[in-house]
């Protein structure tokens, strides 16, 4: 796999003027990132709030994200500056599942940072991975720990939860649960959502195959004009 590369246009050009702020990510083994305040505040409501008003972060020009992982924040930085999500592991099985887990953590980070475009792009990367054949010539879907991480860290209304339930309802096989997840990985809420979706599917007519809506899991809902994909062509290359 050459890597998943998604492009979006937050603006025609980055505003690279103004100060650099410091983002300290992680606890004991923390890593310090420098990021243009204008760039990150244009993308993240969390940073916009932190850098305005009387917050102490605003005065020190420094934000601490002690509970986040530097590797996952690095993914976010790649997205901010390069419009890419570098997903390169094409191993099957649990090794490849680690990359789904990384994307799940990135989604949860996007929730914290309140960056809807990033969350949409992360789910697109997950979907793209499910449709790519890995090194064993098969397509692999997220299992066990990915489900646990999403369900432990997102709200009931999360699009990431809906995506996982839809993947299992439409494509899943029982061995995904039997062989690739232990009971502790499977939150009751997920099993409840899955049971409802499977029972609902039984009473619905078969949906004819066709191109799925690329915005089906995006946070912008009906407002497709603000989708990061719709502005793709506006950015100079």
3-state secondary structure of 24: strand
Residue 213 CB, nearest distance to Zn ion (Å)? 9
User: Parallel, antiparallel, or unpaired: how do β-strands 62-65 and 31-36 relate?
Assistant: unpaired
# chain residues binding Zn ion, by CB under 5 A: 3
34 by Cβ neighbours in 10 Å (0-12 / 13-18 / 19+) ranks as: exposed
**For residue 113, what are the CA distances in angstroms to 6, 44, 119, 161?**
19, 5, 10, 18
Of 113 and 227, CB closest to Zn ion: 227
- One residue of 227, 233, 236, 237 binding Zn ion per CB under 5 A: 227
CB 35 within 8 A of CB 76: no
Window 33 to 72, contacts with Zn ion (CB under 5 A): none
Q: Starting at the earlier edge strand, list the strands of the sheet with 31-36.
A: 31-36, 20-25, 62-65
Q: Does 6 bind Zn ion (CB under 5 A)?
A: no
Cα–Cα distance measured from residue 96 to residue 118, given in angstroms and rounded to the nearest whole number: 21
Nearer to Zn ion, 129 or 218 (CB): 218
Q: By C-beta, is 40 or 227 nearer to Zn ion? A: 227
DSSP state of 213: P
Taking the complex as a whole, how short is the minimal distance between the CB of residue 41 and Zn ion, in angstroms? 22
Q: Which position among 10, 105, 149, 218 is part of the footprint of Zn ion (CB under 5 A)?
A: 218
Gyration radius of the chain over CA positions: 19
Measured from the CB atom, the residue of 116 and 145 that comes closer to Zn ion is 116
From residue 187 to residue 216, the character string flagging contacts with Zn ion as x (rule: CB under 5 A) and all else as - is ----------------------------x-
CB of 160 to Zn ion, least distance (A): 15
Q: Of 51 and 103, which CB lies nearer to Zn ion in the complex structure?
A: 103
Which residue ranges make up the site for Zn ion (CB under 5 A)?
215, 218, 227
């Amino acid at each position: 796999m050459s890597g998943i590369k998604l492009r979006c246009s937050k603006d025609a050009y980055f505003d690279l003027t103004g100060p650099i702020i410091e983002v300290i990510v992680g606890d004991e083994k923390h890593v310090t990132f420098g990021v243009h305040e204008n760039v990150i505040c244009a993308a993240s409501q969390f940073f916009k709030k932190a850098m305005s008003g009387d917050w102490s972060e605003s005065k020190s020009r420094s934000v601490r994200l002690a509970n986040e992982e530097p590797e996952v924040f690095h993914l976010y930085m790649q997205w901010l500056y390069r419009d890419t999500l570098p997903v390169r592991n094409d191993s099957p099985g649990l090794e490849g599942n680690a990359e789904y887990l990384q994307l799940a953590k990135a989604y949860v980070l996007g929730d914290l940072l309140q960056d809807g475009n990033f969350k949409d792009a992360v789910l697109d990367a997950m979907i793209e991975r499910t449709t790519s054949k890995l090194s064993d010539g098969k397509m692999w879907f997220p299992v066990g720990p990915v489900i646990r991480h999403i369900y432990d860290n997102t709200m009931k209304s999360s699009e990431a939860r809906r995506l996982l339930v839809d993947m299992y309802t439409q494509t899943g096989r029982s061995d995904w649960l039997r062989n690739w997840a232990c009971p502790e990985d499977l939150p009751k809420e997920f099993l409840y959502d899955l049971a409802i979706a499977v029972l609902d599917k039984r009473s619905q007519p078969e949906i004819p195959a066709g191109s799925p809506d690329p915005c089906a899991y995006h946070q912008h809902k009906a407002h497709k004009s603000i989708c990061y994909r719709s502005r793709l062509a506006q950015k100079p290359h």
